[in-house]
């Protein structure tokens, strides 16, 4: 394309580009710089170079004998964030895949109604949905009331502020994100292929595993990424459901910038979290573009 036209197009995109550079990319650069400074006495930083922030992501120095050990607290939260995100993705897949299948196999006129039912929670405020799950499992909540009334338990079960609560909350709020892309993939699936496999005496399970799943795989992967990425960076749901007892990375970052008053550590954790998300996204683009290359062969 000619020079002036390129300039015109850049000019047209410029306002959006400038806003994002100023309020997203530049601030992230500052976080990177802050991760390499010394913590200030009352929060903030001193402009003295230090790698302590990065060091304390994984390690801690014993204050008595100055030996270096792995930081149990931080590693625990890092581990919990990854495990809970993976399990959330798996549970939403277990419920989301059949639901997407169910919607895609309704008569076309009915499909919009079922999709509408998935879209409403998707567009509803995240905090409101988290409050709704909280009501189910809090000490005086629905489950405990029912169990007490039936007489199965005498004392309310403490379900809140645990990994279970965080997992339940995240599964609930991210479930619609799984259904929609999987639905889009199944809707495009040509059911004559399943028919052909049944004609060739494939069992239901064999057909599912060797015909249906490979063809709807892109949708399943897209849904998994859409659930995994926000789960890993989740802040609101673990804050309400997990409190101080079951923190995720987002809450640990918040803690370092608040009460912890260790901004460089908070900054290093922020970069770590962003890197984990980017790895997931790069893996996603790798396997999806890899599939396209394969199909060209």
Partner 1 sequence: MTKRSFDVTKLPGTAVMAVACFVILYVPMAILVGYSFNSGNVIGNWEGVSLRWYGAALHNQAFLDAAINSLILATTASVISTVFATMAALATTRTDRFRGEGTIHIILNQPLMVPEIVLAIALLIIIGQIKQATGYTGLGFLIAAHTTFCIPFAYLPIRARLEGMDLSLETAAADLYASRFYTFRRVTLPLLAPGILSGFMLAFVVSLDDLVMSDFLKSPGQDTLPTYLMSELKRNLTSEIYAISSLLLLLSVLIVAGSWVATRKKD
Q: How far is the CB of 265 from partner 1 (least distance, A)?
A: 12
Q: Does 156 bind partner 1 (CB under 8 A)?
A: no
Q: Does 146 bind partner 1 (CB under 8 A)?
A: no
From the CB of residue 31, how many other CB atoms can be counted at a distance below 10 Å? 18
- 6 vs 68 by CB, closer to partner 1: 6
Beta-ladder partners of 60: 69
Out of 235, 260, 261, 288, the only residue in the binding site for partner 1 (CB under 8 A) is: 235
Pick from 81, 239, 95: nearest CA to 176: 95
Asked whether 142 and 136 are in contact (CB, 8 A), the reply is yes
- Longest CA–CA span in the chain (Å) reads 79
Q: Which long-range contacts (CB under 8 A, 24 or more apart) does 68-76 make?
A: 74/252, 74/269
Q: Does 9 bind partner 1 (CB under 8 A)?
A: yes
Find how far residue 24's CA is from the centre of its chain.
Answer: 20
Q: Does 260 bind partner 1 (CB under 8 A)?
A: no
Asked whether 125 and 210 are in contact (CB, 8 A), the reply is no
Of residues 48-87, which lie at the interface with partner 1 (CB under 8 A)?
Answer: none
Quote the tokens at residue 94. 């277990």
Q: Does 254 bind partner 1 (CB under 8 A)?
A: yes
The interface mask with partner 1, positions 261-280, x = CB under 8 A, is: --x--xx--x--xx--xx--
Q: How far is the CB of 63 from partner 1 (least distance, A)?
A: 27
Q: Does 147 bind partner 1 (CB under 8 A)?
A: no
Measured between alpha carbons, how far is 120 from 176 in angstroms, rounded to an integer? 9
The interface mask with partner 1, positions 194-213, x = CB under 8 A, is: xx--x-----x---x-----
The interface mask with partner 1, positions 14-43, x = CB under 8 A, is: -xxx-xxxxxxxxxx-xx--x---------
Out of 68, 79, 102, 279, the only residue in the binding site for partner 1 (CB under 8 A) is: 102
Place of tokens 């200030």: 40
Find how far residue 35's CA is from the centre of its chain.
Answer: 24
- 79 vs 113 by CB, closer to partner 1: 113
Distances in whole angstroms, Cα of residue 273 to Cα of each of 252, 266, 296: 11, 10, 35
- 65 vs 140 by CB, closer to partner 1: 140
Of residues 115-144, which lie at the interface with partner 1 (CB under 8 A)?
Answer: 116-121, 123-129, 131-133, 135-136, 138, 140-142
């Amino acid at each position: 394309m000619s020079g002036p036209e390129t300039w015109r197009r850049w000019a047209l995109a410029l306002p959006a580009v400038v806003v994002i550079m100023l309020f997203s990319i530049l601030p992230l650069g500052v976080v990177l710089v802050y991760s390499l400074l010394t913590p200030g006495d009352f929060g903030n930083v001193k402009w003295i170079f230090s790698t302590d922030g990065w060091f304390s992501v994984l390690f801690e120095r014993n204050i008595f004998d100055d030996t270096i050990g792995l930081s149990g607290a931080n590693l625990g939260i890092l581990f919990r964030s990854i495990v809970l995100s993976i399990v959330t993705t798996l549970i939403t897949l277990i419920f989301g895949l059949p639901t997407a299948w169910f919607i895609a196999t309704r008569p076309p006129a009915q499909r919009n109604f079922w999709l509408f039912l998935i879209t409403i929670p998707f567009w509803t405020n995240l905090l409101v949905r988290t409050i709704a799950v909280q009501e189910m499992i809090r000490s005086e909540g629905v489950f405990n009331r029912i169990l007490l009334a039936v007489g199965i338990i005498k004392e309310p079960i403490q379900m809140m502020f645990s990994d279970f609560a965080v997992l339940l909350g995240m599964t609930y709020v991210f479930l619609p994100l799984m259904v929609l892309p999987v639905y889009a993939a199944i809707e495009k699936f040509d059911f004559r292929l399943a028919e052909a496999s049944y004609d060739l005496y494939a069992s239901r399970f064999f057909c599912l595993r060797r015909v249906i799943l490979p063809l709807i795989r892109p949708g399943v992967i897209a849904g998994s990424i859409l659930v995994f990425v926000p789960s890993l960076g989740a802040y609101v749901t673990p804050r309400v459901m997990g409190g101080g007892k079951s923190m995720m990375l987002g809450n640990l970052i918040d803690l370092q910038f608040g009460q912890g008053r260790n901004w460089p550590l908070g900054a290093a954790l922020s970069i770590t979290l962003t890197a984990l998300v980017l790895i997931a996204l790069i893996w996603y683009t790798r396997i999806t573009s890899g599939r396209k290359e394969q199909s060209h062969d």
